[in-house]
Structure 1
Amino acid sequence: MASIILRFRSKDGMFRINTSSDSDFVSVLEQLLTKLSSAVNSQSLLLSNSPSQKGEPAKGYCGKTVQELGLKNGDMLFVSYETAIDPNAVPTSTPTVPITTTNLGPTKVQELPIDIALDKQEGLIARPLSSMCRHGARGMCEYCAPLPPWDENYRSEHAIKHISFHAYLKQQAEKHKNNGGSYIAPLEEPDYKIDLHCQQGHQPYPKGICSKCQPSPITLQQQKFRMVDHVEFADSSILNEFLNGWRSTGVQRFGYLYGRYEAFDKVPLGIKAVVESIYEPPQVGEFDGVTLLNWDDEQQIDAIASKLGLTKVGIAYTDLTDSGRKDGTVLCKRHKDSYFLTNLECIMAARFQHKYPNVTKYTSSGKFSSKFVTCVVSGGLLGEIEPRSYQVSTGAEALVEADIITGCTQPSMVYVNENSSTRYVPDIQYSKINEYGLEVKSNAKPTFPVDFLLVSLTDSFPVDPTPMFTSEYHYTIENREFMGDVQDLSTVYKYLNGGDYEVRKAKLCNFHFLCHLARLNILGPQEMESIFKFIVDKNEDDYIRLVESPGWMSLITILEENK
């Protein structure tokens, strides 16, 4: 008999079973049970022809062939069952995240405070009365009614290139508002990976493939929203200290941006990353790049930052070449006619964004893209040194995660990989507006422009800076031994020695000093906690408690002996 396919739909998904018309239905059930949840109670299995019917017990179908049951190729049966409860199972305290697209409500996750605050705001853009209004001061009409935070005309008038993440989120939620009463997560991360464990009745890829396991064709467009709108360096000295590594040696430097996320009022429902310090991990700088080394104390530095309410918000690296004119200018290598980020830098940014995902309750997975930014310090059009901040799109993250793209010899282009035993590359096109204002699509294979993966951010320094850490007193930067800058006990002694009471207090507020002090392991947890509280709250009692503690006195004694 010819082989046929029967389809079964359950709360675990839809499955396809390969069988033949003269096969006993028992063999079909045996295949089905291997695809359903391991917690299924086989005695409670019910089958029906309609999702609205309760169905008949599956055991009543046994002993009959598929043909005798009147089932034909492509027929669908609806499956329902009860879950078998394991009395020895230990309940977990962590709630599981549902994978279905229709849930009772948003996923329960711990979002960042900025996301919780912006989620409560409508973000409507207020408009004043205009000459077209024909009503009183308390009235409202189409000419003065508030605009939604994603309004395109407002963006174009105020030169806002991308809408903010929360504006985009509310725009998507508006589209899903009328969904028959069931909740549909407004956000969904793109996934371009092929399912290597597809259970639709065929052999795994590359021996078999179907529409369920293969990714859909991809059309790349420049992303209309951005997860972070602005990067603000809390003080100009933060960037200047970072640049001194290049100024002294001519080799490039790499650092992690430690800061926090705050509201950005220049964009409706906007977010800015406020950078309080740049920490330089172990690295080997070269004239045209940086090689990162193992960073053994990364978790310790992250823990220190966390105590101060900070986290990694991005990375920064230099790409500077002196102009040779001996006037402090540098070459401008990154512009609209060359590139802003190279293909390898885009892939690096995507990997960092995937490593530090953005937590949100508005996806079934509990995460969506990332707030992690990439800042490259390079030369401007006038030869000045300037930071430029970027992110890559959610599509770029998915392409890198699926191993679909890689770098090529032309830095402004991205190469599309070939199919392999673990990688399926779907059709990829990119859409752009031509010189006649028309949208046209081009084949992305074998290469396509990097620009379709980039999202640009703005950056600046505050007019009235109020940094968390002191900018007046410099401490030796970590991992700069190649410059002759070494952090040791004598470095701590020289830094703390001298100055009046207020100076000694101010010197505590230095992230590089704090990290070195923690790595010495001389102060105990209580003394370190007093420093953290003093830096955050600026409470005099915490400082007095610290300098009068036995641990601090031991530190001073050790420093005197090793000065």
Structure 2
Amino acid sequence: MLIRVRSKDGNFRHELEPGADAMVLFRKILETSVNPDESTITISNQPRGGETKLLSLKGRTLQSLGLHHGDLVFVHYKEKASDSSSVPESSSSQVAPSTSKDVAQRPWELVQEDPVDVYWRSKDGKIPRQRDAQFCKHGPKGMCDYCMPLEPYDAAYHKEHGVKHLSYHAYLQKITPKSSAAQFIPPLNPLDYRVKVPCPTGNHPSWPSGICTSCQPSAITLQSQPFRMVDHLEIASTDVIDRFLQAWRRTGMQRFGWLIGRYEPYDKVPMGVKAVVEAIHEPPQQGELDGLSLGLPWEDEPRIRNLASKGSTPLTIVGYIFTDLDPTEEDRTKNVYKRHPHSFLMSSLEAIFAATMQCTNPMPSKSSSTGKFSSRLVTAILTGTEDGNIDVSAYQVSEQATAMVAADMIEASVDPGIVRVKEEDRSEDSARYVPDVFFSYKNEYGLEVKKSAKPAFPVEYLMVNVTHGFPQNPVPMFQSTQSQIENRPGLEDQTVERVLSQLATLGAPDVVESRHRKPGEAQKVFELAKWLSDWHLIAFLDTTQLIPPDDMKVLMQVATSPTLMSDPSQLDPLIATDGWQTIMTFTRENAPQQGPNLGGSAMDEDLWEQIPASEQGFDIGGGSGANSGVASGAGTPGTKTCPHCTFENDSGRTDCEVCGLPLA
């Protein structure tokens, strides 16, 4: 039965058995109380009067005390005296274990939320309204029902503006009681459709050997989720999507990528949250014409999360994206329009995968009794539109979907728009219990009808729509998308030699700190800064072990600095690191004018031979002419020196024969 407890710490609910000892309730009260003196805890069926010390009821059952399902009891207690004056300063640490124990009993108090949640918790979310010229009869400083601010969950406002789902924080405002005790009561309890093991009563063997009403989940009625964790998906730049699509355009194989970005307030929805995508990181995968295979768990995920968090604005994984593109037979430049309301928007297999990913990426929340609630991981799909072009669709799946997947209750169907409910299995290996599942729909007469979801139900009952778009004035964090992309073997190969060659072409070894730069070097610094501000380049350099972890943090902060392209001094912290100097040493050795056929400090011959001739910038066998002129350092009449790579070129050329950049 359910017993409600009200104390100065707030309101709490406890599932207890009628035959349970009063000490079971006593222990539950201790868990939700702050520093109580156990001997002073009293209960009563009224706010004042009739108090009975709870310890005196030991051995009595709750039923014998007259408690029934849904009853409310009032609890009072005195806190333990803290005589700090009598405690020596040196023994203050002895108090810490007791304090930490109290904190551990409240997991929601230990949570560190995302900055966007911290922001919205500091706001009331009220929707301001202007003075109504027709109905407002008061002065300019007055307020009435026609102009007072609306609550962020106001139903009429959402209907008027076409907002289908409440934002997460607007939903919290709606369900949180408006009382001083509300801060102590987490209003959210994550759904759990699994059998409780062991049974709270302890009267029978655990599932699958036994089951009762206390440990089995209740029947499930599927319904549209009234709120969503993310309201909008924003891609920082169209270049991010175009670069991701290049692999599909060149191979026809479907691709998958993790969305690297951050969460920000979204002003188009009351107390809204948007996921801003700055880059797409592609894990190892095997693409097919009609699908792809991934290895999960993703082994590189901890490194990528750690690297992303080191930016000037910390980033994280906000979702994932994949392609589902199929060119039409009539026109290969157009794509099949396969996802629409008359077919499916998200397949059952994709919905189950989304639920699995959301289960493994829960959101920290101070409003949940467990300290975690739902997930902000967004699913983005690149697919064909009605006119044959390509567009993004964004979704999440509901809390019911994640709970059903966690309980192993559903599976994909041959029909992509249908989800199958699994059969109950009492074997020791599976031990799957499936309660009754229902869903409601309107029949041909417009009446609400409830129907069993067994053996299958439409996938849209699990979906939550998320809007998407691109900013009108893009200001991406990463300035370049030209670097080779990871895990595209044979298509784009990331190599140290390529990076060093590009650094040499950019003249990176000649770039010094801003206070030592000569006039006219601004363009070179600008080009280097833009080239460095590339997520894929940074992620690759992090794997080479050429740059120490502390210096990688500096590189990430410099590359993501919002003033990088306008302030050349932003490169100074990076140039001063040992890691950068190490890279520059290798770059000088990799410079084209210092090949194995040239004298001086050339690269190791075995390493040089591993570099393709096209990347060395000149004919390896040529040891005369312009190359020999650079090796000796002697300029000759009728030649021009490239300002980017310092290579001497014949007077008849207008571009550098090594780096291809225009000659000064």
Structure 2-normalised TM-score? 0.71
The corresponding residue for 1:388 is 393
The corresponding residue for 1:249 is 251
Q: Would the aligned equivalents of 1:393 and 1:455 in 2 still touch at CA under 8 Å?
A: yes
Residue 186 (structure 1) aligned with residue 187 (structure 2)? yes
Which has the higher relative contact order, 1 or 2, with Cα contacts under 8 A spaced 6 or more apart? 1
The corresponding residue for 2:459 is 450
The corresponding residue for 1:303 is 306
The corresponding residue for 1:54 is 53
* Residues 127 and 470 of structure 1, relative CA distance in 2, 3 Å threshold: same
AA partner of residue 192 (structure 2):
D
The corresponding residue for 2:497 is 490
Q: Which range moved further: 544-553 or 400-409?
A: 544-553
Structure 1 Cα separation of the partners of residues 490 and 99 of structure 2? 49
Residue 168 (structure 1) aligned with residue 175 (structure 2)? no
1:135 deviates by 2.5
Q: Would the aligned equivalents of 1:378 and 1:386 in 2 still touch at CA under 8 Å?
A: yes
Q: Would the aligned equivalents of 2:18 and 2:62 in 1 still touch at CA under 8 Å?
A: no
Helix, strand or coil: the match of 1:409?
Answer: coil
The corresponding residue for 2:435 is 426
The corresponding residue for 2:571 is 543
1:296 deviates by 3.5
Residue 475 (structure 1) aligned with residue 480 (structure 2)? no
AA partner of residue 252 (structure 2):
G
Helix, strand or coil: the match of 2:552?
Answer: helix
Helix, strand or coil: the match of 2:528?
Answer: helix
AA partner of residue 539 (structure 2):
C
CA RMSD of aligned residues (A): 3.6
Q: Deviations over 1:304-326 (max 9, x none)?
A: 10101100000000000011344
Q: Deviations over 1:102-128 (max 9, x none)?
A: x8x963411111001011112222222
Structure 2 Cα separation of the partners of residues 98 and 92 of structure 1? 10
The corresponding residue for 1:286 is 288
Structure 1 Cα separation of the partners of residues 98 and 331 of structure 2? 65
Residue 346 (structure 1) aligned with residue 351 (structure 2)? yes
1:188 deviates by 1.7
Structure 1 Cα separation of the partners of residues 260 and 272 of structure 2? 19
User: Where do 1:135-154 residues align within 5 Å?
Assistant: 135-154=138-157
Structure 2 Cα separation of the partners of residues 390 and 110 of structure 1? 26
AA partner of residue 419 (structure 2):
V
The corresponding residue for 2:263 is 261
* Residues 554 and 452 of structure 1, relative CA distance in 2, 3 Å threshold: same
Q: Deviations over 1:483-530 (max 9, x none)?
A: 2x1111222124323342210111110000001111000112343232
1:447 deviates by 0.5
The corresponding residue for 1:107 is 109
Q: Would the aligned equivalents of 1:254 and 1:317 in 2 still touch at CA under 8 Å?
A: yes
Q: Deviations over 1:517-547 (max 9, x none)?
A: 1100011234323212312333644523423
1:372 deviates by 0.7
Q: Deviations over 1:137-158 (max 9, x none)?
A: 2222222222211122222222
Structure 2 Cα separation of the partners of residues 170 and 555 of structure 1? 53
Structure 2 Cα separation of the partners of residues 493 and 203 of structure 1? 66
Q: Would the aligned equivalents of 2:412 and 2:420 in 1 still touch at CA under 8 Å?
A: yes
1:272 deviates by 0.4
The corresponding residue for 1:225 is 227
Structure 2 Cα separation of the partners of residues 545 and 407 of structure 1? 52
* Residues 434 and 364 of structure 1, relative CA distance in 2, 3 Å threshold: same
Helix, strand or coil: the match of 1:481?
Answer: coil
Helix, strand or coil: the match of 2:405?
Answer: helix
The corresponding residue for 2:362 is 357
Residue 199 (structure 1) aligned with residue 200 (structure 2)? yes
Q: Would the aligned equivalents of 1:343 and 1:450 in 2 still touch at CA under 8 Å?
A: yes
Helix, strand or coil: the match of 1:304?
Answer: helix
How many residues matched? Answer: 520
Structure 2 Cα separation of the partners of residues 318 and 239 of structure 1? 11
The corresponding residue for 1:459 is 468
Residue 117 (structure 1) aligned with residue 119 (structure 2)? yes
AA partner of residue 495 (structure 2):
D
AA partner of residue 503 (structure 2):
L
The corresponding residue for 2:581 is 553
AA partner of residue 295 (structure 2):
L
Helix, strand or coil: the match of 2:309?
Answer: helix
Helix, strand or coil: the match of 1:497?
Answer: helix
* Residues 181 and 148 of structure 1, relative CA distance in 2, 3 Å threshold: closer
Q: Deviations over 1:247-275 (max 9, x none)?
A: 00000000000000001111111100000
1:298 deviates by 2.5
AA partner of residue 411 (structure 2):
T
Q: Deviations over 1:60-117 (max 9, x none)?
A: x7xxxxxxxxx99964599x99x9xxxx999499777777xxx8x9634111110010
Structure 2 Cα separation of the partners of residues 358 and 92 of structure 1? 28
* Residues 93 and 389 of structure 1, relative CA distance in 2, 3 Å threshold: farther
AA partner of residue 554 (structure 2):
S
The corresponding residue for 1:156 is 159
Helix, strand or coil: the match of 1:278?
Answer: strand
The corresponding residue for 1:14 is 16
Q: Which range moved further: 185-194 or 135-144?
A: 135-144
AA partner of residue 195 (structure 2):
I
1:15 deviates by 4.7
Structure 2 Cα separation of the partners of residues 424 and 468 of structure 1? 48
User: Where do 1:365-380 residues align within 5 Å?
Assistant: 365-380=370-385
Q: Would the aligned equivalents of 1:16 and 1:199 in 2 still touch at CA under 8 Å?
A: no
Q: Would the aligned equivalents of 2:382 and 2:390 in 1 still touch at CA under 8 Å?
A: yes
Structure 2 Cα separation of the partners of residues 504 and 150 of structure 1? 49
1:220 deviates by 0.8
The corresponding residue for 1:66 is none
Structure 1 Cα separation of the partners of residues 536 and 543 of structure 2? 11
1:481 deviates by 0.6
The corresponding residue for 1:215 is 217
Q: Would the aligned equivalents of 2:558 and 2:574 in 1 still touch at CA under 8 Å?
A: no
The corresponding residue for 1:64 is none
Q: Would the aligned equivalents of 2:19 and 2:62 in 1 still touch at CA under 8 Å?
A: no
The corresponding residue for 1:21 is none
1:449 deviates by 0.6
1:348 deviates by 0.7
Residue 312 (structure 1) aligned with residue 317 (structure 2)? yes
Residue 533 (structure 1) aligned with residue 557 (structure 2)? yes
Q: Which range moved further: 119-128 or 530-539?
A: 530-539
* Residues 439 and 390 of structure 1, relative CA distance in 2, 3 Å threshold: same
Q: Would the aligned equivalents of 1:230 and 1:457 in 2 still touch at CA under 8 Å?
A: yes
Q: Would the aligned equivalents of 1:12 and 1:36 in 2 still touch at CA under 8 Å?
A: no
1:557 deviates by 3.2
AA partner of residue 189 (structure 2):
E
Higher Rg of the two aligned structures: 2
Helix, strand or coil: the match of 1:139?
Answer: coil
Structure 2 Cα separation of the partners of residues 161 and 513 of structure 1? 40
The corresponding residue for 1:415 is 420
* Residues 92 and 437 of structure 1, relative CA distance in 2, 3 Å threshold: farther
Helix, strand or coil: the match of 2:373?
Answer: coil
The corresponding residue for 1:334 is 339
The corresponding residue for 2:647 is none
Q: What 5-or-longer segments of structure 2 have no aligned partner?
A: 6-11, 32-37, 46-50, 68-74, 81-93, 507-523, 591-602, 609-615, 617-664
Structure 1 Cα separation of the partners of residues 109 and 41 of structure 2? 31
Structure 1 Cα separation of the partners of residues 214 and 385 of structure 2? 48
* Residues 461 and 497 of structure 1, relative CA distance in 2, 3 Å threshold: farther
